[in-house]
Amino acid sequence: MGELPGRTSDSDDGDPSTNGPSATVKTPRGPVEEVGAAIPEAASASFAALLHLIRLMAADLVLHRADADLERFEQAVRTKIEQFTSPTANQNARDAGLAFARHLVELVLTQLRAQVEIKKSLSLKAQATLTEKPAPPAAQPDPELPKFLN
105: nearest Cα among 91, 90, 84: 84
For 62-114, what is each residue's pLDDT tens digit?
888 776 688 888 999 999 988 988 898 999 888 888 888 899 999 999 999 89
| 88 alpha-carbon distance from chain centroid | 27
Radius of gyration of the chain (CA): 30
Label residue 135 by pLDDT band (50, 70, 90): low
Residue 18, pLDDT score: 45
Q: 75: part of which helix (H) or strand (E)?
A: helix 70-82
Residues in the chain: 150
